Structure 1
Amino acid sequence: MSEELISKKELLDLTGISYGQLYRWKRKNLIPEPWFIRKSSFTGQETFFPREKILQRIDRILGMKDDLSLDALADVFSPSPGDIRLSAGELLERNIVTSTSLNLYIETAGKSEGMSLLGFDQMLTVYVLDKLLQSGDISLEEGRLLVQALEEYLPGLAGQECGVRLTRKMGVAAFILVPGDIEIYMDRSVRTVVRLSLARCTEELKLLVSGSEG
């Protein structure tokens, strides 16, 4: 199934932003270059965007631009983790994750309880784990599978948009990491239970970390 597109004219009319704002945000890397899709039309060349992604991004920009500079927003929306490190104690003190998720991560990943600082990939793994446990979408055992998958593959996906899917077939769970967060097709007996964007989780975690500083 191809992604639904929205034309530039329709986007500007629907969101109320100006042509200048749109291209300023592009220059500031708030909107990725690949989202600007040039296609032939009866009037010549026209620019289109992935409808769901661009509308969500513009809504988030408009909601945060009064509190953060464009450069700060660009960092939030960047898939690059940056050099952010926190201790396990700081994650708990700032209410970024719960002790249940942190302890499950430490146990499953074979880390020591007194580990010094967690890098961003490690924090993101605990954050995603906590998010899915808190929502009730996964069990503790499935949480262990998630940690194992993210610990093994997340470092190699740095800077890439990626989706996380939890599938079940005949009661057997499996996590799938999808670079590019593209649509994947499986036989009808496989049920997708969870579909999560790591890019969106990265944005949320960066905001939580920056918002809890100072």
Structure 2
Amino acid sequence: MEEDLISKKDLLELTGISYGQLYRWKRKQLIPEEWFIRKSTFTGQETFFPKDRILGRIHNIIHMKDDLSLDELADRLGDTSTLYKLSLTAKQLLERNIVSSLTLDRFGGLDGGGDQEYAFEQIVHLFAVDLLLSKGEVNLEEADRLFYTLTVNTQRFEGKSWELFFVRKMGVSMFLLAASPADLVFDEGVRLVSRLAFTDLLEQLKGKVN
């Protein structure tokens, strides 16, 4: 399975940025060179991007560019080391719009007034669960299983990137975790409901915690 891609034309229309802005940010290394993927189409060669990562990165650039120079932005967006040291309380997660009150209440984060602290990995797990809940892709029972799956199994990757696959077949749902990049082939009748990559979650978190 390939990562979801978005064409340059659709990206510019969806985000409202110009061709010039996109390539200026590329020159300033705000957007990695390897995200510009050239593919053959029936109209010729077109440029595509990894959808979730580029949308997360452009969101972060737009919301941070008024406070930082482009060079400072490049340093900030390229550095993930501070994220791994991140620790936030449930109240801070709410204030920064990282996790909703529904998710925090579901997993006990609002007990005791929201003072419970979460380390980086726990924040990623809550963020992933909240993301799928907000999209309506999982129900509350599935959210419980997802949180348990992430909590128990992501430590096996020992700092390596991973991807989460959420699939359904004949009403039965299942979560799978695989080292990234993953190329999975499913049985006939299996529907891929959602696919989340650890790197994409990091990209989206950057703008919310900085």
> How does the TM-score come out when normalised to structure 1?
0.65
Equivalent residue, structure 2, for 1:86: 88
Q: What is the 5 A alignment of 1:9-88?
A: 16=20, 22=26, 25=29, 51-53=48-50, 56=54, 63=62, 66-67=65-66, 69=68, 70-78=71-79, 80=81, 81-88=83-90
Is 1:163 matched with 2:150? no
Largest Rg, 1 or 2: 1
Q: Are the equivalent residues in 1 in contact too, given 2:162–2:181 (CA < 8 A)? A: yes
Q: Deviations over 1:29-55 (max 9, x none)?
A: x56697799xxxxxxxxxxxx942399
Give, in angstroms, the shift of residue 130 of structure 1. 1.2
| Count of aligned residue pairs for this structure pair | 187
Match of 2:111 in 1: 113
Kindly provide the amino acid, as one letter, of the partner of residue 90 in structure 1. Q
Q: How far apart in 1 are the matches of 2:60 and 2:129? A: 26
Q: Is the 8 A contact 1:91 1:97 kept in 2?
A: yes
Contact (CA 8 Å) 1:61, 1:73: kept in 2 or not? no
SS in 1 for 2:124: helix
Measure, in 2, the Cα distance between the counterparts of 1:2 and 1:177: 15
What are the residue-to-residue correspondences of 1:145-156 with 2, within 5 Å? 145-156=145-156
Q: C-alpha separation between the residues in 1 aligned to 2:167 and 2:87?
A: 31
CA shift at 1:122, angstroms? 0.9
* Stretches of structure 1 lacking an aligned partner (at least 5 in a row): 5-13, 38-49
Aligned to 1:123: 123
Q: Give the RMSD, CA atoms, in angstroms.
A: 4.1
Q: CA deviation at 1:59?
A: 5.0
Distance 1:59 1:36 in 2: 14
Q: Which structure ranks higher in relative contact order (CA pairs < 8 Å, sequence separation ≥ 6)?
A: 2
Q: Is the 8 A contact 1:79 1:158 kept in 2?
A: no
Deviation at 1:166, TM superposition (A): 0.4
- Provide the residue aligned with 1:96 in structure 2: 98
Question: Is the Cα contact below 8 Å between 2:87 and 2:119 reproduced in 1?
Answer: yes
Whole-angstrom distance in 2 between the partners of 1:188 and 1:130: 29
Q: Does 1:133 align with 2:150?
A: no
Q: C-alpha separation between the residues in 2 aligned to 1:17 and 1:94? A: 27
In the alignment, which residue of structure 1 is the partner of 2:11? none
Specify every segment of 5 or more residues in structure 2 that has no aligned partner in the other structure, as ranges: 6-17, 38-46
Q: Secondary structure at the match of 1:52?
A: strand
Once the two structures are overlaid, the 10-residue window that deviates more, 188-197 or 176-185, is 176-185
Find the counterpart in structure 2 of residue 43 from structure 1.
none
- Alpha carbons of structure 1 residues 135 and 112: separation in structure 2 relative to 1, 3 Å: closer
For residues 139 and 133 of structure 1, the distance between their equivalents in structure 2, rounded to whole angstroms, comes to 7
> Contact 1:169 / 1:191 at 8 angstroms: preserved in 2?
yes
Matched letter for residue 208 of structure 2: L
